[in-house]
Amino acid sequence: MSANDRPTGQPTAPHDSAFLKACRREPVPHTPVWFMRQAGRSLPEYRKVREGIAMLDSCMRPELVTEITMQPVRRHGVDAAIYFSDIVVPLKAIGIDLDIKPGVGPVVEQPIRTRADLARLRDLTPEDVWYVTEAIGLLTAELGATPLIGFAGAPFTLASYLVEGGPSRNHEHTKALMYGDPELWADLLDRLADITAGFLKVQIEAGASAVQLFDSWVGALAPADYRRSVMPASRKVFEAVAGYGVPRIHFGVGTGELLGLMGEAGADVVGADWRIPLDEASRRIGPGKAVQGNLDPAVLFAPTEAVRAKTGEVLQAADGLEGHIFNLGHGVLPDTDPDALTRLVEDVHTRTAR
């Protein structure tokens, strides 16, 4: 179903959508569904339009961004679109020499590890990411009542890429800086918080109905380290966009021990990965927050009945929560059958219809 081909009685504005109602912990007609990485390699139409175009280049072409963002909305009937981009786009926009290498991820030519390196992290302006404003204008016109989620990488995860020079399993350089020079670390994260907040503001002012802060690698930290060395920067980001009144979502992988702190940082919705049941996740997050998640992405490779059974477990664990947004516990895996995602959306909508 397209965003503009809705049965009578469906929302006519994003504000009235099931997704935003769930974010606000209001009654919903059904549990809303969207997927992290719903636009991407799992879709043949995505691979077709991206053919021969580098990842970062594709993020800077408004018409292409619009098409890619819309693809899962058209195909799966999800309750929200998420802006197609990459967490390193704002870093590239301010002049950091980096590239996204296929099969590797973001690679930074000159890692940031000294105080002198901080000078390379200047403020982000709307003009730096003009293509974001243009793409969101195109998207909101086409999406109609379907909300658009803006997003950005959280300061810790961005710092990890910058300090390591690329993806890392152990984050040894990152932790060495955090423990060895806490003042430089705090200044680095504070600078990244300003850049991240600027990137989210551009998206909200262009028309995004909600934003998600991805702290992909923060699960590598102990709670005490998160509270002392990371939470102040994440809180600064959330506070910077609080005045817009749009829901703020926070998500990280392997963060079961951090969920309460991540909620404390200022999010309205906290995402949980698949390692913890949603009822326990909600207990740890505390009252006054909606919860997002959390089917294991690998479950989608199982037979349909097995997927239905595991979906039922997620919905049962979420039963009675103030607000629940159905999602995976991490992003859609590249080899996922798109039809499995379409069936999952329909299954959740059918089971939770009120």
Structure-derived torsion over alpha carbons of residues 189, 195, 197, 200, reported in degrees to the nearest 10: -130
270: its two tokens: 């906290």
First to last CA, the chain: 20
Identify the DSSP state of 66.
Answer: H
89: its two tokens: 């786009």
Cβ atoms within 10 A of the Cβ of 83, count? 24
SS3 93: helix
Structure-derived torsion over alpha carbons of residues 323, 341, 136, 4, reported in degrees to the nearest 10: -90
List the catalytic residue out of 37, 75, 191, 284. Answer: 37
SS3 65: helix
Residue 235 known to be catalytic: no
106: phi then psi, degrees, rounded to nearest 5: -65, 130
List the catalytic residue out of 24, 61, 74, 86. Answer: 86
List the catalytic residue out of 6, 16, 24, 41. Answer: 41
Cβ atoms within 10 A of the Cβ of 347, count? 18
For residue 308, what are the β-bridge partners? none
The edge-to-edge listing of strands for the beta sheet with 81-82 is: 81-82, 148-153, 210-214, 248-251, 269-271, 290-295, 324-328
Select from 159, 171, 168, 178 the least CA-distant residue to 111: 159
List the catalytic residue out of 25, 46, 50, 226. Answer: 50
Residue 41 known to be catalytic: yes
Residue 161 known to be catalytic: yes
List the catalytic residue out of 131, 161, 194, 248. Answer: 161
Give me the active site residues, please: 37, 41, 50, 86, 161
